[in-house]
Homo-oligomer: A and B are copies of this chain.
Amino acid sequence: MTEENIKYNAPTEVREIEVLNSYELEKEAGKIVPKGGYDYISGGAGDEFTLKQNTKVWNKKGILPRVLADVEHPDPSTSILGHDIRAPFIMAPIAAHGLAHESKEAGTARGIAEFGTIMSISAYSGAKFEEIEKGLDGGPRWFQIYMSKDDELNKNILDEAKADGATAIILTADSTVSGNREKDQFNKFVYPFGMPIVSRYLTGSGKNMSLNNIYSQSKQKITPADVRFLKEYSDLPVFVKGIQSPEDAVLAIGAGADGIWVSNHGGRQLDGAPGSFAMLESISKAVAGRVPIVFDSGVRRGEHIFKALASGADIVALGRPILYGLALGGWKGVYSVLNYFDEDFKRVMQLAGTQTIEDVKNTNLVDLN
């Protein structure tokens, strides 16, 4: 147990924030989130090659401005798995929001619910389901699971998530061990609070444990049978998250996946992998419309949302920028960030001559280099 964890002081302010762009948000958050937590949130694996590629690869494809397109007040609303959402983005599952703000996941949940989209609750949440519900207040939620090696405990977790109202299960499959998070190693980072959802299968609460330690206590041998198990036991649709190849998309669908979640875990797992967006188009072709596709890893602007949808995603999930909003303004900060993305995306829709999400998805991007 390090000194720093004893006195981890997460930000506490609740206020609307002005969002110039996501990169400024990151800088601002870096000024108020304690270093251990900030490095954990913002950092990636290894050389951070993949982390950097996640934002650089957007520049490989250009959006052409379109004219004489008869567009006004474009409509960004869409639906996924039966949920109507205001805009084609949802909250990505992220561990330990309490590192960003004392309101923890409840703060994020409230911002998400007020805006009108879907909350993903991480199995590594620092808050309990009932605490998060205080923010979500009946809003739609999906539950992301890191599996225990013991399926009885997994059933136990699924029961709880389902009782809480989760309408889908997200199986994170790209993290059977922790990525090489050098910043965390350098900081000797351990979580300053516990993880009540998975503590049932940890040798402790999660508090003062490293991510390495926690991942190693979770299940490594994840297989197609796990997808089937989750689906059958929960009777909920299951996303397989962490898909970065057409082969794995096909494998997951073959195992019964109801959705493909394209992600490289925000560059936090296998460094040396391509930027996530670089793989989207080929995965989308392999999926061929059989199940919906969620995209994450590197979404920082409205242009990125547009490019992801034009390349085969149905919606995107936002991660770090939301957590920076949480850090800077609690639930109101989250709300501000979501509004920023909404405004930014609608502007792109207008300038690209697209009235609806269907129009966006039918847009051809142009290759840059």
Q: Is A344 part of the binding interface, using a Cβ–Cβ cutoff of 8 Å? A: yes
- Measured in the bound complex, the distance between the Cα atoms of B63 and A274 in whole Å is 7
- Segment 233-251 of A: residues with Cβ below 8 Å from B: 240, 242-245, 247-248, 251
- Measured in the bound complex, the distance between the Cα atoms of B264 and A163 in whole Å is 53
Q: Is A180 part of the binding interface, using a Cβ–Cβ cutoff of 8 Å? A: yes
- Segment 319-369 of A: residues with Cβ below 8 Å from B: 344, 347-348, 350-352, 366, 368
Q: Would you give the shortest CB distance from A349 to chain B, in whole angstroms?
A: 10
Q: Would you give the shortest CB distance from A268 to chain B, in whole angstroms?
A: 11
Q: Would you give the shortest CB distance from A32 to chain B, in whole angstroms?
A: 20
Given A20-B182, A49-B59, A301-B47, are A270 and B177 neighbors across the interface (CB < 8 Å)?
no
Given A46-B21, A180-B347, A351-B174, are A67 and B248 neighbors across the interface (CB < 8 Å)?
yes
The one of B59, B65, B227 in contact with A242, judged by C-beta atoms closer than 8 angstroms, is B65
Is A68 a contact of B245 with CB atoms below 8 Å? Answer: no
Is A272 a contact of B67 with CB atoms below 8 Å? Answer: no
Q: Would you give the shortest CB distance from A245 to chain B, in whole angstroms?
A: 5
Is B176 a contact of A58 with CB atoms below 8 Å? Answer: no
Is B185 a contact of A20 with CB atoms below 8 Å? Answer: yes
Is A62 a contact of B273 with CB atoms below 8 Å? Answer: yes
The 8 A CB mask of A180-191 against B (1 = contact, 0 = none) is 101001100000
Is A46 a contact of B301 with CB atoms below 8 Å? Answer: yes
Which of A47, A252, A270: most chain B CB closer than 10 A?
A270
Is A245 a contact of B71 with CB atoms below 8 Å? Answer: no
**What residues of chain B lie closer than 8 Å to A159, measured between beta carbons?**
none
Q: Interface-forming stretch among A87-95, A192-200, A216-224?
A: A216-224
Q: Would you give the shortest CB distance from A54 to chain B, in whole angstroms?
A: 12
Q: Is A173 part of the binding interface, using a Cβ–Cβ cutoff of 8 Å? A: yes
Q: Is A291 part of the binding interface, using a Cβ–Cβ cutoff of 8 Å? A: no
- Measured in the bound complex, the distance between the Cα atoms of B68 and A355 in whole Å is 39
- Measured in the bound complex, the distance between the Cα atoms of B46 and A307 in whole Å is 15
- Measured in the bound complex, the distance between the Cα atoms of B279 and A64 in whole Å is 9
Interface of A is mostly: loop
Question: How many copies of this chain are found per oligomer?
Answer: 4
Q: Would you give the shortest CB distance from A274 to chain B, in whole angstroms?
A: 4
The one of B20, B220, B352, B368 in contact with A72, judged by C-beta atoms closer than 8 angstroms, is B220
**What residues of chain B lie closer than 8 Å to A247, measured between beta carbons?**
66
Is B65 a contact of A251 with CB atoms below 8 Å? Answer: no
Is B173 a contact of A63 with CB atoms below 8 Å? Answer: no
**What residues of chain B lie closer than 8 Å to A251, measured between beta carbons?**
67-68
Is B221 a contact of A72 with CB atoms below 8 Å? Answer: yes
Q: Is A269 part of the binding interface, using a Cβ–Cβ cutoff of 8 Å? A: yes
Q: Is A29 part of the binding interface, using a Cβ–Cβ cutoff of 8 Å? A: no
The one of B21, B178, B185, B274 in contact with A62, judged by C-beta atoms closer than 8 angstroms, is B274
* A contact residues vs B (CB 8 Å cutoff): 20-21, 46-47, 49, 53, 58-59, 62-73, 173-174, 176-180, 182, 185-186, 220-224, 226-227, 240, 242-245, 247-248, 251-252, 255, 264-265, 269-274, 278-279, 301-303, 306-307, 344, 347-348, 350-352, 366, 368
Given contact pairs A21-B47, A67-B252, enumerate 5 new A-B contacts (beta carbons under 8 Å).
A21-B46, A64-B279, A180-B302, A220-B350, A270-B303
